[in-house]
Structure formats: structure tokens, C-alpha cells
Structure 1
Amino acid sequence: MKVKLLFIVLLIFWEYAFSSIHLSKIEGWKTLDKPLSYNPQTLWEYIDGAADLFLSYGFEHLISQELEQDSIIVVLDIYDMGKPLNAFGIYSAERPSKAGRWSAGAEAVIIPPYQALMVKGQYYVKVNVSRGNLETEAAYALMQKVAQILPGTNNYPQEFTILPGKNRQPYSYSYTKENFSGLSELNSCISAEYQSGDYGSYTCFAVVGLEQEEMQSIWTTITSKWKKDTFAKTEVYYRKIPYKGYVGVIKKNGTILGITGIKDKTHLFEMLEQLK
């Protein structure tokens, strides 16, 4: 009985939260029919094969609305992922690696003429074309208009401030829930790509968003499986990833910070010392 009551309360909360998002106010687009709504128990009815991935990132609610402009019809899906980091995670998972990035919301990608993706705050937005072609300029304009009706700021999740700003490549942030860089011991990792004249290209990452016990469990696994060294009085744990180079981590103020994609072990140690 209590579980059922809790579900009803959550359903009412989700409906109230989405009631503040006025889809009819997207300038230049007309809504068709009533929007469809899905929760964690019914999401599989809409995206059966992908529902588990969304649920793993904390999915809470989805509203889906058809929009029409002239000869074009699109399906606008707005996923409430509960937290900005969760929203950025599912966006990172679905974002094509080679697609161009755009400054709508926190970030957007456009895959003309059929799809566009965006993340803003706790919301992940997908636009899929069901009739006609949505070219780049029109897709970007639509994403900007959707961003305007969504609550929150256009900032990246605050967790990314942990990562260094120097040499960071624009639009390179990601959040990986499990198995970062293919390593089962690295979960809940934010990351960004970097380019340095001295060290070439590499990736910085940090483990975030976990309780202290979970963080300690990851650290214990790393210290028991990875090699240990000391560089400039900094304790470093590292290993080699086939075809990717070295990955190494340090612990700073209780947070696990790391670098991967470095071919030379000494360079890895020097860079980890800079993170310290």
C-alpha cells in the first residue's frame, strides 16, 4: 500500500514538474495531438530496447510531443533524468562521437536531416524527424527554442569543475556510469579531452557522485590490482590498457583523479603530479 501511494505521489510530482514546460510556446511550431507521458514502469513501452540504459542513468519521466512546421513533422522527447549529471550521462552515451557540437542548452548535437540531441540541466532532449527533412539551421533554431522553455541554466553540471581547464578541448565533456575506458573498476566517471604540445592528446577523468563507501571500494580495487609507484612524493597507481596506452590515478581530497591515453609512463607520472 505504501509503495503504491509513493508511486502515485511521484506520478503527481512528475506531471506537475512537466506542466511548467509549455510545449505550445515553441515559436514557429504547432503541437499535434496530446503529448504522451512515460515513467520508469512504462518506459519500455516506448523504447523497449533502450529502456534499461535510461533507467541505469536515473530516468524519472518522459514527455513526447509531435510538432509540425510547414511540411516537417518531428517527435520531441524530453527526458527528465532527475539530476544534471544523469542527463549529461545519457546524452554522452547517445551522442555520436564525430557529430558537431552546438551551444544550445548546455550542449547539443545535430545529425541532419533526421535527428538532433540536447542536454540542459536535468533534461535530455531528442528530436526525431517523422516527415520531411530537418536541416542544420532549422534544427539548431528548434533546439534553442526548446532550451528557452526548459527550467534551469545552460551551464554544464557543476561536477565538471573538478577537471582542469588548461588544454581542455571544447565540447569534450562526458559522463560514464560504468566501465570507463573499458575498465570495470572505474564507475561514475566524468571526463574531458585535452591536447598539449608536450604530451599530445589525452583524457582527464574523476570519479564523482558516489557515497564515501562506494568511492573507497573503487579505490581499494584499484590499489589491489594496479601497479604502484611514487613520483615527486605523490603515490600513483597505474596500468597499461592494450592499444590505448597508460592510465593512472591519484587521490586528492577524497576524490579519485586520473589520466588515460598517455603512451609514456614518465609523462603520465608528470601529469598526475600536476593534478595533485
Structure 2
Amino acid sequence: MKRTLFISVLLIVSFQTIQGQGLFPELRGYKISDDYPVYTPDDLWNYINGAADAYLQLGFIDLNIREYVKGKNIIKAEIYRFGDDARAFGMYSMERSPRYKFINTGVQGYNEEGVVHFYKDCFYVKIMSHSLSAKVNSSMLDLATLISSRMGGSGEFPALLRLFPSEGLLENQETYLLESVLGHEFLRGAFRASYEVEGDRFDIYLFSREDPAEVAAMAASLAGDAWAADDEVFRYAFKDGFNGLLYMARQGGKLILISGLPLERSSLAERYITLMLGSH
């Protein structure tokens, strides 16, 4: 029985590895080099050093790499696989800037000098070259399109991000925060979106967990004596030593925080919280 289970696990891991490798297409005029190992959480540090921490915290699974060689020009393609599309987007969002030149590759990508990055489904793809020629950049864009076409997924942003209301949303500023959110060590792992509505600038933070107890613990630490664990939807506004006035709501495995709005704009905060919670 143990031997059968071991073989089954080995076959699953082997299939996943082959699946990642199968995302690399041929690229006209280039030869493919596969001299890199498949990196896993055990050895990602060997490739990207300290940057591995963020990837591991977001549930990194494996990294497949290929080089495309044409004379002196080398294009490197890295495909990072995560547990789901929200985690892949989280990593992608941490390394993008709203000032970048965005492209319609994957769900979203960008093309800057010497790089083409995009994400789709559970994959974050990074394509790069030391060559800054227009022809090489065009080949990088072609390669990105070919890789994206081999991936599954819906081509839409993660469902969690679609909880953020569209009204007033500042484009391409959604990001994922790993730790010490709003300056609190106990607040970890949140999506943040920025807004401007009727002259007011504010941020909305969304924490989502499969285990509601994790969210309840964060909410209780914030609310202190005001915390009511039995409330189906707990809402609370309070002055925070780090951030001034905060508006919060906790429902099940989700915690919403809004910062940047004064007390006289509490109705706006409540409206956005209600939109994110649905009918509650």
C-alpha cells in the first residue's frame, strides 16, 4: 500500500513537472537550451537568493526555465507556478508599477526595457534579455504570446480581486502585501486597492482565508474589547495609532479594512464595505 501511494505521488509530481516544461514553444530562428534544473521550494534560494522569501510565502510550487539562443542574442524565459491564480497575481502585482507599459498578454502583462512579464492562471512568466534591440523585443513579445496560448485559465483577474468595486478604482494599483499590513505585525497577506472618489483618496484592504478563525484573530486584535465574535458581520470604526481612522468589517473568512477617509465620510466607507460584502 505504501509503495503504491509513493508511486502515485511520484507520478503526480512528474506529470506536473512535465506539464510546466510543455509550456515552452519553439521560437522561429532561435535554438532552445534547457540547461537549468526545475526549481522547487527547497532550492529556489539557489536561483533568486533572498527574493525567494516572497515567492515561498505566496505558495510557489516550481520554476521552469529555458533559454532561446540566436547568435549572440539570448532570451531567457522563466515560468513560476503557484497554487492558484490569486497567488500568481499577487507575486506579479508586487513586481509591477502603474507606470509600466501594459500589454494584452495573459490576463495582464507589461513590456519594459529588456523584459516582458505577464501572469495567467496559476503562472507568473518573466521573459528577459540583455539585448535592447527592437527585433529581440519583438521576439520576446512573440514568445510571451506563444507561452500564454499554451496555458489554461479563464483570462480574467482572480475572483478575489473582482470583489473590489470598480467605481473610483485607480487602474493597475492593486497589489498584494505580505506582512505588517498597515504597520501591524499580526496583519499579513492582503490585497490592497486604491481609490479616488469625489476628491477623496483612500485604500481598501482585503484579507481572505479558508479558515475563518485566522481572520477572526486578526479582527479581534484590531478591535480589542469591542470585538464581538458571534456577529455574522462585525463592523467597527476606530482610531488606529498607526493610521488614524480605520473602518473594518469581518464576515466569515474575509476581513475588509478601509483607511484614508475622515469621520465625515463614514457613509462612503460603509457604502464600499457593503458593496464588497454583497447584501449584508
Q: Give the shorter-chain TM-score range.
A: 0.7 to 0.9
1:271 equivalent in alignment to 2:272: no
Structure 2, unaligned runs of 5 or more = 229-233, 275-280
- SS in structure 2 of the partner of residue 202 of structure 1: strand
CA contact (8 A) 1:226 1:237 kept: no
Distance 1:209 1:92 in 2: 19
Give 1:101's aligned amino acid: F
Comparing 173-182 and 150-159, the one that deviates more: 173-182
Distance 1:156 1:29 in 2: 33
4+ aligned runs moved over 6 Å, structure 1 = 1-7, 225-228
Distance 2:200 2:142 in 1: 36
Distance 2:225 2:141 in 1: 46
Comparing 207-216 and 176-185, the one that deviates more: 176-185
Give 2:152's aligned amino acid: P
CA contact (8 A) 2:169 2:194 kept: yes
Give the deviation of 1:87 after TM superposition: 0.7
Instruction: Give the corresponding residue for 2:278.
Output: none
Instruction: Give the corresponding residue for 1:224.
Output: 224
Instruction: Give the corresponding residue for 2:214.
Output: 214
TM-score by length of 2: 0.80
Aligned 1:10-21 pairs, distance under 5 A: 11-21=13-23
Give the deviation of 1:235 after TM superposition: 3.6
Q: Deviations over 1:125-183 (max 9, x none)?
A: 11221x41155962544433322122222211111122112221222322223223433
Comparing 42-51 and 31-40, the one that deviates more: 31-40
Instruction: Give the corresponding residue for 1:179.
Output: 180
- SS in structure 2 of the partner of residue 219 of structure 1: helix
Distance 2:74 2:108 in 1: 23
Distance 1:169 1:51 in 2: 29
Give 2:159's aligned amino acid: Q
Structure 1, unaligned runs of 5 or more = 229-233
Distance 1:154 1:11 in 2: 26
- SS in structure 1 of the partner of residue 187 of structure 2: coil
Distance 1:83 1:164 in 2: 22
When residues 226 and 180 of structure 1 are mapped into structure 2, their CA distance, relative to the original with a 3 A threshold, is: farther
Report the structure, 1 or 2, having the larger strand content. 1
Instruction: Give the corresponding residue for 1:231.
Output: none
Instruction: Give the corresponding residue for 1:127.
Output: 127
Q: Deviations over 1:185-235 (max 9, x none)?
A: 3322122222212x422222211134111111111111118999xxxxx84
Distance 1:270 1:35 in 2: 58
Instruction: Give the corresponding residue for 1:260.
Output: 259
Distance 2:196 2:62 in 1: 38
Identity of aligned residues (%): 18
Instruction: Give the corresponding residue for 2:160.
Output: 159
When residues 237 and 10 of structure 1 are mapped into structure 2, their CA distance, relative to the original with a 3 A threshold, is: farther
Distance 1:201 1:91 in 2: 24
TM-score by length of 1: 0.81
RMSD between aligned residues:
3.1
